[in-house]
Amino acid sequence: GAGVSQSPSNKVTEKGKDVELRCDPISGHTALYWYRQSLGQGLEFLIYFQGNSAPDKSGLPSDRFSAERTGGSVSTLTIQRTQQEDSAVYLCASSLLGSTSGNTIYFGEGSWLTVV
């Protein structure tokens, strides 16, 4: 597609349920990032994928969060046993190369998660 595509755009879930958020990066982009943005807050790094390398999971806030990237393309962020503090916008981004120096990161429009 022309841009980074994320689904669902909005998700309301009950506390304790699991949710899956999907990201379809720009075709040909080897690097994929997940960020979290709470209301009125900055961009919190969650996880990074680059090609076939092991992902950098250093930003995941707890073991309830996990992500995978299949075939070097589509990625799924899974949040298990959701809590109210998980409510946020989850942004996916991709870039052409692993190094961000000089490369533009393209963000999707985000998946708005509300845990009630």
Partner 1 sequence: QQQVKQSPQSLIVQKGGISIINCAYENTAFDYFPWYQQFPGKGPALLIAIRPDVSEKKEGRFTISFNKSAKQFSLHIMDSQPGDSATYFCAASSGGSYIPTFGRGTSLIVHP
Which residues of this chain interact with partner 1, rule CB under 8 A?
4, 31, 33, 40-43, 45, 48, 50, 56, 91, 93, 98-102, 104-110
Residue 109 near residue 99, CB atoms below 8 Å? no
Rounded to a whole number of angstroms, the distance between the first and last alpha carbons of the chain is 33
Nearer to partner 1 by Cβ, of 8 and 98: the residue is 98
* DSSP string for 47-77: EEEETTSPPB-TT--STTEEEEESTTS-EEE
The residue behind tokens 């503090």 is 85
Residue 16 CB, shortest distance to partner 1, in Å, is 28
Residue closer to partner 1 (CB basis): 62 or 100: 100
Quote the least distance from Cβ 81 to partner 1, whole Å: 27
Q: 14 vs 101, which CB is nearer to partner 1?
A: 101
Least distance CB 20 / partner 1 (angstroms): 19
Q: Measured from the CB of residue 24, what is the shortest distance to partner 1 in angstroms?
A: 14
Taking the least distance from each CB to partner 1, the nearer of 67 and 91 is 91
Cα distances (Å, whole numbers) of residue 37 to 62, 76, 115: 16, 17, 15
